[in-house]
């Protein structure tokens, strides 16, 4: 757990939910090294069961899991009052904004995209553990306060007027508002002797109360003959009073207590809660920003509003020793820093090293504390009218990236420990968000470059294959003409050479056709429509009728669903998979079974055979274009068919894989989304 200063006092309990062993091992090692207790679940149902039993402090939850995904798991956790308050951080390879929004709408406090950085995960976990502890402390304090109030109320209800007059401050007033009795506790509370009050008019002795809450409530007791209970502030004593006033035979009786301490504590709790909420809101806004500039501008604007200070600045430290303001929120009337570049002397290397180690600079009055201001900074603070400043480092992966700076210009300002800790925590969040935004920008650039490269490659493959068709037809025609015209005039070797050339040309034609089919998956694909997969399989079988008969193959097909797909490509997909099963068969006749089953929001298809099988180490390689596991003399083919299948499935938003053992056949599995 985490104490009020944010440091570890005892290990926090983290439940890690992921169906991938590698992720579990990495997270276990990272969190375990950080003095955290780790619980592990590999699926949603186990996670819910463990969370109900163990009540962890935080849950790291994967989204893409079989049976029950992370979204449903989170929904059930939040629906259960036992686990509803446990913070949930999603971890997923899903990077779309809609997925993040869905995660937050289900009650998650954070969202980490895969692949993740261990330091980032640890930083987020520790931050949310701090928030959870603050919330828990707040709830406990409020519960204690409510319990104390309830107990006090119960005691007062049980007590009689005599007991209350002894234990509380008490005074009695007659019909003319004169004091008739004042107990010793009231003397202490009012800071007046009873002999100075007895027989005197209350409004003469306490004129500041005239027209205030006390005056109105006491008159209500007199006129309406009802008991009243209220809390009010009395300025001359600088005290909050809890007052019970009752109608009496000769006037009114007043019991009261000084509740200033309790009221101050309640105000502090309220402020703590509000600031905690503000921190959570600011953190969420910063972390939801999707690019570097947006992260920085959101951060300075939110911090400036939160601290109610004159200027908040993100100062970028460059590799050449210089620095400049890169984001700023400044109130009108104060000189902007943004866009100005400052020499190395403003933040020399010695200062940079201190900031890299986590140093915080805090000055409440620059004019009267110049000994705390480095000589190189005096001109800087004078130029920008700085009266007080608070500076915390922004670190990205333990490297000093820049500084988050708060300037108070209108007057000196004493920075509280809460403000200092808050700014430090926000700087940590800014560092994480900046790193996240940089990674996102790099990933976007990489994705754009990859898409461009793939498009260029597909266009090249199509053009190259198309341009090869005509010369290949010419070669084949002349070889066949040569074979017919001079067959009887050539020796056996020459005839063999011509036969080899004709066969090579035929193989080249097959290769070109396959390559064209591969390139056309994206470029020549048709719009999706509702496709009956049973009809697709029937057409594929009809196209392979001769091959099926030649191999004496047996095909069985379970009832298949309708899906939204490219009709032509679905036929090609089944045809390629059936052809693959026919090609790689054992001595016995091929037996092929096609089936499908619903799974969450998709269909899982299987094409199973009794062929030669595939070694596990080659399970990914077989879907790469031109990759062959066997010699052409053993099993004919171009090595493109399964690559085409993979490309078709990817176009339809699914995945394809193989489950196989050598000599025991193969099962090709692929998924396609269920249609609405």
Q: Is the pLDDT of residue 366 over 60?
A: yes
Q: Higher confidence at residue 488 or residue 554?
A: 554
Query: Mean of the pLDDT values across residues 428-452?
Result: 77
Residue 38 to residue 312: CA distance in whole angstroms:
39
Query: Residue 472: its pLDDT value, please?
Result: 64
CATH number attached to the domain at 159-265: 3.30.450.20
User: Residues 531, 490: contact at Cβ < 8 Å?
Assistant: no
Reported as a pLDDT band with limits 50, 70 and 90, residue 671 is very high
On the question of a common fold for 289-523 and 525-673, the answer reads no
Reported as a pLDDT band with limits 50, 70 and 90, residue 282 is low
Q: Is the pLDDT of residue 244 over 70?
A: yes
Reported as a pLDDT band with limits 50, 70 and 90, residue 306 is confident
**Strongest mean pLDDT among 72-76, 291-295, 661-665:** 72-76
Query: Residue 160: its pLDDT value, please?
Result: 42
Q: Tens digit of pLDDT for each residue in 100-109?
A: 899 889 988 8
Query: Mean of the pLDDT values across residues 374-390?
Result: 78
Residue 595 to residue 579: CA distance in whole angstroms:
16
Least confident of 76-90, 314-328, 394-408, 448-462: 448-462
Reported as a pLDDT band with limits 50, 70 and 90, residue 163 is very low
Least confident of 61-65, 430-434, 483-487: 483-487
DSSP string, 341-398: EE-GGGS-HHHHHHHHTT--EEES-TTTTGGGS-HHHHHHHHHTT-SEEEEEEEEETT
Residue-range domain boundaries for the chain: 13-150, 159-265, 289-523, 525-673
Percent of the chain predicted with pLDDT > 70: 80
Q: Tens digit of pLDDT for each residue in 166-184?
A: 668 899 999 999 999 888 8
Q: Higher confidence at residue 626 or residue 296?
A: 296
Residue 668 to residue 671: CA distance in whole angstroms:
10
Query: Mean of the pLDDT values across residues 471-488?
Result: 71
Reported as a pLDDT band with limits 50, 70 and 90, residue 561 is very high
Q: Higher confidence at residue 537 or residue 435?
A: 537
Q: Tens digit of pLDDT for each residue in 310-349?
A: 999 988 888 777 778 888 999 998 988 887 766 655 666 6
Print the SS3 string covering 279-330: HHHHHHHHHHCCCHHHHHHHHHHHHHHHHCCCEEEEEEECCCCCEEEEEEEE
The domain made up of 525-673 has a fold known as: Heat Shock Protein 90 (3.30.565)
User: Residues 426, 282: contact at Cβ < 8 Å?
Assistant: yes
Q: Across-strand partners of 230? A: 243
Residue 71 to residue 63: CA distance in whole angstroms:
6
Q: Tens digit of pLDDT for each residue in 650-667?
A: 888 899 998 988 888 899
Query: Mean of the pLDDT values across residues 568-576?
Result: 87
What radius of gyration do the chain's Cα atoms show? 39
Quick one: CATH architecture of 289-523?
2-Layer Sandwich (3.30)
Note the pTM of the prediction, 2 decimals.
Answer: 0.37
Least confident of 68-82, 212-226, 293-307, 469-483: 469-483
Q: Tell me whether the omega of the peptide bond preceding residue 327 falls within 30 degrees of 0, making it cis.
A: no
CATH number attached to the domain at 13-150: 3.40.50.2300
Q: Is the pLDDT of residue 199 over 90?
A: yes
Reported as a pLDDT band with limits 50, 70 and 90, residue 538 is very high
Residue 254 to residue 241: CA distance in whole angstroms:
12
Q: Tens digit of pLDDT for each residue in 598-642?
A: 988 899 999 999 988 887 777 777 887 655 555 454 555 456 778
Provide the mean pLDDT of the chain: 81
User: Residues 281, 307: contact at Cβ < 8 Å?
Assistant: no
């Amino acid at each position: 757990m985490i104490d009020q200063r944010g440091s570890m006092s005892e290990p926090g309990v983290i439940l890690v939910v992921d169906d991938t062993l590698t992720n579990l091992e990495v997270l276990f090692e990272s969190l375990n090294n950080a003095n955290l207790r780790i619980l592990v679940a590999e699926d949603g149902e186990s996670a819910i069961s463990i969370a109900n039993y163990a009540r962890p402090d935080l849950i790291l939850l994967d989204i893409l899991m079989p049976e029950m995904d992370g979204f449903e798991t989170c929904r059930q956790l939040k629906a259960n009052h036992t686990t509803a308050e446990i913070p949930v951080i999603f971890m997923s390879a899903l990077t779309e904004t809609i997925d993040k929004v869905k995660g937050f709408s289900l009650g998650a406090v954070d969202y980490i995209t895969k692949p993740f950085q261990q330091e980032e995960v640890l930083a987020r976990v520790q931050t949310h553990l701090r928030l959870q502890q603050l919330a828990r402390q707040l709830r406990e304090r409020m519960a204690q306060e409510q319990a104390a109030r309830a107990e006090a109320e119960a005691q007062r209800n049980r007590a009689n007027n005599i007991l209350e007059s002894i234990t509380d401050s008490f005074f009695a007033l007659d019909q003319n508002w004169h004091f008739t009795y004042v107990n010793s506790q009231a003397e202490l509370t009012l800071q007046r002797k009873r002999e100075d009050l007895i027989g005197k008019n209350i409004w003469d002795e306490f004129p500041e109360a005239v027209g205030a809450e006390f005056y109105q409530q006491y008159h209500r007791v007199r006129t309406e003959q009802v008991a009243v209970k209220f809390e009010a502030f009395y300025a001359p004593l600088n005290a909050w009073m809890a007052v019970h006033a009752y109608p009496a035979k000769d006037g009114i009786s007043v019991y009261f207590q000084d509740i200033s301490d309790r009221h101050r504590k309640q105000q502090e709790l309220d402020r703590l809660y509000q600031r905690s909420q503000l921190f959570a809101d600011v953190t969420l806004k910063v972390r939801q920003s999707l690019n570097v500039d947006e992260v920085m501008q959101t951060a300075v604007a939110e911090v400036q509003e939160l601290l109610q200070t004159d200027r908040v600045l993100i100062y970028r430290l460059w590799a050449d020793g210089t620095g400049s303001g890169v984001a700023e929120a400044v109130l009108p009337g104060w000189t902007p820093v943004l866009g100005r570049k400052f020499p190395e002397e403003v933040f020399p290397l010695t200062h940079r090293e201190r900031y890299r180690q986590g140093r915080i600079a805090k000055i409440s009055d620059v004019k009267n504390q110049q000994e705390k201001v480095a000589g190189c900074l005096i001109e800087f603070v004078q130029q920008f009218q700085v009266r007080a400043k608070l500076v915390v480092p922004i670190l990205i992966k333990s490297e000093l990236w820049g500084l988050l700076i708060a300037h108070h210009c209108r007057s000196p300002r004493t920075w509280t420990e809460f403000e200092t800790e808050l700014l430090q925590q926000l700087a940590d969040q800014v560092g994480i968000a900046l790193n996240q935004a940089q990674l996102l920008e790099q990933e976007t650039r990489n994705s754009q470059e990859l898409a461009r490269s793939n498009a260029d490659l597909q266009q090249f493959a199509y053009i190259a294959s198309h341009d090869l068709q005509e010369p290949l037809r010419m070669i084949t025609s002349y070889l066949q003409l040569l074979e017919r015209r001079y067959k009887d005039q050539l020796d056996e070797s020459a005839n063999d050479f011509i036969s080899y050339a004709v066969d090579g040309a035929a193989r080249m034609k097959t290769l070109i056709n396959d390559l064209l089919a591969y390139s056309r998956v994206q470029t020549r694909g048709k719009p999706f429509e509702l496709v009956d997969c049973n009809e697709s399989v029937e057409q594929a079988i009809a196209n392979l009728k001769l091959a099926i008969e030649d191999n004496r193959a047996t095909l069985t097909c379970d009832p298949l669903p309708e899906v939204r797909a490219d009709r032509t490509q679905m036929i090609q997909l089944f045809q390629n998979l059936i052809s693959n099963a026919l090609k790689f068969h054992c001595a016995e006749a091929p037996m092929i079974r096609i089936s499908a089953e619903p799974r969450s929001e998709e269909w899982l298809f299987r094409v199973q055979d009794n062929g030669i099988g595939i070694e596990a180490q080659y399970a990914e390689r077989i879907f790469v274009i031109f990759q062959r596991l066997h010699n052409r003399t053993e099993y004919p083919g171009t090595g493109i068919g399964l690559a085409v299948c993979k490309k078709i499935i990817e176009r339809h938003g699914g995945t394809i894989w193989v489950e196989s053992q050598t000599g025991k056949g193969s099962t090709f599995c692929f998924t396609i989304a269920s249609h609405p």
